[in-house]
Amino acid sequence: MASVSIPARTEYLRHGLVSWLATVDHKRIGIMYLASTFVFFLLSGLMALVIRLQLTAPGLQIVNQDLYNQLFTMHGTGMIFLFTIPCLVGFANYFLPLQIGARDVAFPRLNALSLWLLIFAGVVMEGGFLLGILGLLPGGASNAAWTAYVPLSNKQFSPQIGMDIWLLGVVLLGISSTLGAVNFLVTAYTMRAQGMTIWRIPMFVWAMIVTAAMVLIATPVLTAALAMLIADRNFATQFFNTANARLWQHMFWFYSHPAVYIMILPAMGIVSEILPVFARKPLFGLKAVVVSTILIGVLGFTTWVHHMFVSGVDPIVERFFMLTTMIIAVPTGVKMFNWLFTMLGGSLNLKTPLLMCLGFLSTFVIGGLTGVIQALIPLDMQLHNTYWVVAHFHYVLFGGSVFGIFAGFYYWLPKITGRLLDDKLGKLHFALMWVGFNLTFFPMHFLGLMGMPRRIATYTADRGWELGNLIATIGAFMVAVSVLIFMVNFVRSLRHGARAGNDPWEGNTLEWTVTSPPPEHNFDTLPTVESERPARDLRLAASNPTVPAH
């Protein structure tokens, strides 16, 4: 263990609850990020189940119209702001310093601040919602959708204090995210191991660098918009009065389209880490993967108006954004080919992490393609605000990001806990989740084409929407069961899981050269890197001492 010995009177700083509350260790902070965001995932998932139950058949009324609106608002915000974005940050907290061969992040205290801001904001938002349900908060939580469009979200239409609580929560999250981004950028820039030149940076780290840069540019715009809305609601300012209501949409989507990439790039980074290891081959076209990541980051800022095609934007402007939206499919397509060619001819190790990556590839590609279809202005006019859109973005965010997150869990949890998850249960989780996911969301494409609008609390029996909705609800419960299986697997693994050892997968990156879990200070001596696969170099050198390490 650590060579530094801590005197007995500060022992409480190493063990017990206080040690967790006071920690500035990136690994513990990472664990707390992962654990707390997973709780928010479960809460938002429960809300999705209630939404789905209500829509199972025509005319059901499990919750009333107003609670339904709160539910999808909190489901969407919870999934995006409290789960997907910060969960990926949790992985980065734990693994970015390890992967670059550093002992911590550049600003450990700032890191702790980001974590506690996130948790506090989550408690504020979910707490506001709960108080509303219990009848303690007149008017309940925000019910203006995760987009919080004005005038719907202004004082006149949403007078309830729950709306302000929600806005404050998202402001806090914005601050947390921005601070985190600064931290990751500085860490990756200044603290890389000796020899880790630009083309030797691991793919997950590259993804986080681009993601952090996007956060730094995009998130303050949303935070400012939210603060302006709070001022409009409470201090009689007029930033978003009816005459310039479209300003809200611009500010919101200037953040929220890049937010899609803030959610998908780190997941892509995870996939780019796992595929070469499980195909036992180098990543195909490493430079193309890096360049396409950067291009996606840049182009991600040029497409936001595609969310506003029906809001009366100048037609020339609309066409520009239609084209940019289609262009961004090019670097994304490049990545798809990189991944496919990485697997081609490899000897595939068909364990759960790889299956989750295959889940990512198979579903994300559908979400990408339906996105290109939606970019066509005349089609978007028809598809806008229908269940087609709900199908599309779940294929991207769930099919992409969430499958990527679970790939990350199966790949990296053994490093964190020292124990392997059970592969059979993992495969069952994967199969149920993949089938359940497609049952839930594939029919929504057709529901959308049949005219079912999103955000409706119920529907009548004469529209032909019954079958699609029934299948979707069944699928959603399959997903729920699959997540339960994952949780059982995880808890079981803590006691009964096989010991992971340092390097259960024959990994490429530096986290696999240290014990599982890693020592407090990560590395006894800081590593030197001589290729883009330093762990493999060391493994080969150890198994054949006469051959130089690379």
Q: DSSP class of residue 455?
A: T
Shortest Cβ 419–ligand HEM spacing (Å): 26
Residues 405-444: x where in contact with ligand HEM by CB under 6 A, - otherwise, as a string:
-----------------------------------x----
Residues 191-230: x where in contact with ligand HEM by CB under 6 A, - otherwise, as a string:
----------------------------------------
Q: DSSP class of residue 420?
A: P
Q: Extract the tokens encoding 210.
A: 């681009």
Shortest Cβ 392–ligand HEM spacing (Å): 11
Q: Which amino acid is at 188?
A: A
Helix (H) or strand (E) holding 337: helix 329-343
DSSP H helices, 241-327, are 246-279, 286-299, 315-327
To which residue do tokens 């339906």 refer? 370
Give 35's contacts (C-beta < 8 A, 6+ positions apart): none
> Which residues in the 349-408 window bind ligand HEM by CB under 6 A?
390, 394, 397-398, 401-402
Q: What are phi and psi of 210, to 5 degrees?
A: -65, -40
Burial class for 303, CB neighbours closer than 10 Å (0-12, 13-18, 19+): buried
Say which entry of ligand HEM, Cu ion, none residue 533 contacts (CB below 5 to 8 A, set by partner kind): none
Say which entry of ligand HEM, Cu ion, none residue 455 contacts (CB below 5 to 8 A, set by partner kind): ligand HEM
Cα(429)–Cα(483) distance, integer angstroms? 7
Cα(526)–Cα(539) distance, integer angstroms? 17
To which residue do tokens 């202004």 refer? 154
Nearer to ligand HEM, 250 or 394 (CB): 394
250 binds Cu ion (CB under 5 A): no
> Which residues in the 459-478 window bind ligand HEM by CB under 6 A?
476
Q: Which stretch binds ligand HEM (CB under 6 A): 111-119, 141-149, 178-186, 206-214?
A: 141-149
Cα(194)–Cα(512) distance, integer angstroms? 17
Residues 47-86: x where in contact with ligand HEM by CB under 6 A, - otherwise, as a string:
-x--xx-------------------xx-xx--xx---x--
Q: Which amino acid is at 463?
A: R
Q: Which amino acid is at 133?
A: I
Shortest Cβ 429–ligand HEM spacing (Å): 13
Give 462's contacts (C-beta < 8 A, 6+ positions apart): none
Query: How far is residue 18 from each of residues 23, 24, 38, 114, measured CA to CA in Å?
Result: 8, 12, 22, 18
> Which residues in the 478-537 window bind ligand HEM by CB under 6 A?
479
Residues 464 and 450: beta-carbon distance below 8 Å: yes
Shortest Cβ 4–ligand HEM spacing (Å): 40
Q: Which stretch binds Cu ion (CB under 5 A): 87-95, 249-257, 286-294, 428-436?
A: 249-257
Shortest Cβ 425–ligand HEM spacing (Å): 19
Query: How far is residue 334 from each of residues 76, 211, 285, 296, 460, measured CA to CA in Å?
Result: 30, 18, 10, 11, 44
Binds Cu ion by CB under 5 A, chosen from 192, 257, 533, 539:
257
Say which entry of ligand HEM, Cu ion, none residue 155 contacts (CB below 5 to 8 A, set by partner kind): none
- Give me the residue whose beta carbon is nearest to ligand HEM: 76
Q: Which stretch binds Cu ion (CB under 5 A): 31-39, 88-96, 253-261, 536-544?
A: 253-261
Shortest Cβ 302–ligand HEM spacing (Å): 22
Q: Which amino acid is at 471?
A: I
Burial class for 516, CB neighbours closer than 10 Å (0-12, 13-18, 19+): buried
Say which entry of Cu ion, ligand HEM, none residue 257 contacts (CB below 5 to 8 A, set by partner kind): Cu ion
Shortest Cβ 213–Cu ion spacing (Å): 18
Say which entry of Cu ion, ligand HEM, none residue 302 contacts (CB below 5 to 8 A, set by partner kind): none
Site residues (CB under 6 A) for ligand HEM?
Answer: 45, 48, 51-52, 72-73, 75-76, 79-80, 84, 145-147, 390, 394, 397-398, 401-402, 440, 454-455, 476, 479
Site residues (CB under 5 A) for Cu ion?
Answer: 257
